[in-house]
């Protein structure tokens, strides 16, 4: 037998909560001293307490908890309900994390408004490039949605390209295609050679770009949006019309998004606008 204080500690609840459960008839003490009124609990009551707390955490009211427990909820059924709740919380956490990343990126853009990047923007031609390419669709733009897709495709291609007989000759390239719903993410590797039949990627020639504005972004991945915005402002101020798609060439990719060691060359096709 446990005193109410000991039982509360073993069950990771407060004494006040146990008294409340007693008042509701949800968890009666195993024994009450008739003279002192002290409550005592038995070890087997921990099982019911665990179910009460678990169901409460699932969002059930205490009245609903009582109805469920009086219906003799099985451990298997409770386990399934907890798994469902865990999945709901995980999805909510992922959505909140994505929203937080979006807010932080927007704040960074606001802080950097009107600030030109330290690196010089250079206009140069880009030659046509043979690449092996794979793509997938992200539900929305932003690092939280796009980052995992890039990582997945990059890992698949790092394994499948050498196995196909091709040789990787340059840094990976990422570009995006706007869809009516979502964003198609393209990951490409510069290659040479002849691919084996039925390779999981597509061989294609990225077209020549006669005139591209280029900027070497150095810093965190979250700050890449600031470099994009700076290029847009530069194009407007210098009489250039930007074209899609803008390519991201990952010259240095340390893996950790928070690292300051990322080096990504942005390549934006541009055309000189007619004088107004």
Domain definitions of the chain by residue range: 2-73, 122-272
Q: 128, 247 in Cβ contact below 8 A?
A: no
The two three-digit tokens of residue 264, written as one number: 């990504």
The two three-digit tokens of residue 248, written as one number: 């991201």
> Which residues are paired to 203 by β-bridges?
132
Q: 151, 208 in Cβ contact below 8 A?
A: no
Q: Which fold has domain 2-73?
A: Multidrug-efflux Transporter Regulator; Chain: A; Domain 2 (1.10.1660)
pLDDT of residue 60: 81
- The mean-pLDDT minimum among 66-75, 103-112, 131-140, 204-213 falls in 103-112
With cut-offs at 50, 70 and 90, classify the pLDDT of residue 275.
low
Question: Rounded distance, CA 58 to CA 69, Å?
Answer: 14
Rounded to an integer, what is the distance from CA 122 to the centroid of its chain?
33
Statement: 122-272 belongs to CATH 3.20.80.10: yes
With cut-offs at 50, 70 and 90, classify the pLDDT of residue 114.
low
The two three-digit tokens of residue 67, written as one number: 């109805």
DSSP secondary structure code for residue 158 in this structure: H
Q: Is the pLDDT score of 135 beyond 70?
A: yes
Question: Rounded distance, CA 32 to CA 9, Å?
Answer: 19
pLDDT in tens, 41-85: 988 888 888 888 888 887 788 888 887 887 766 777 777 877 887
């Amino acid at each position: 037998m446990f005193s109410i204080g000991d039982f509360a500690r073993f069950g990771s609840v407060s004494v006040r909560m146990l008294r409340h459960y007693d008042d509701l008839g949800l968890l009666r003490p195993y024994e009450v001293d008739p003279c002192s009124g002290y409550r005592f609990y038995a070890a087997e009551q921990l099982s019911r307490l665990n179910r009460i707390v678990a169901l409460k955490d699932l969002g059930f009211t205490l009245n609903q908890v009582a109805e469920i427990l009086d219906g003799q909820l099985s451990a298997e059924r409770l386990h399934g309900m907890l798994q469902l709740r865990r999945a709901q919380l995980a999805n909510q956490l992922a959505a909140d994390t994505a929203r937080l990343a979006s807010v932080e990126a927007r704040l960074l853009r606001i802080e950097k408004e009107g600030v030109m990047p330290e690196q010089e923007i250079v206009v140069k031609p880009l030659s046509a490039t043979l690449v092996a390419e794979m793509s997938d669709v992200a539900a929305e733009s932003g690092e939280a949605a796009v980052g995992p897709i890039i990582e997945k495709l990059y890992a698949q291609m790092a394994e499948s390209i050498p196995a196909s007989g091709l040789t990787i000759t340059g840094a990976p390239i990422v570009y995006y295609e706007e869809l009516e719903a979502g964003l198609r993410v393209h990951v490409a590797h510069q290659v040479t050679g002849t691919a084996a039949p039925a390779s999981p990627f597509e061989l294609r020639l990225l077209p020549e770009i006669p005139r591209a504005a280029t900027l070497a972004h150095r810093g965190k991945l979250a700050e890449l949006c600031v470099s994009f915005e700076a290029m847009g402002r530069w194009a407007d101020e210098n009489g250039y019309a930007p074209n899609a798609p803008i390519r991201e060439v990952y010259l240095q990719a340390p893996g950790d998004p928070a690292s300051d060691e990322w080096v990504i060359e942005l390549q934006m096709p541009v055309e000189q606008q007619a004088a107004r």
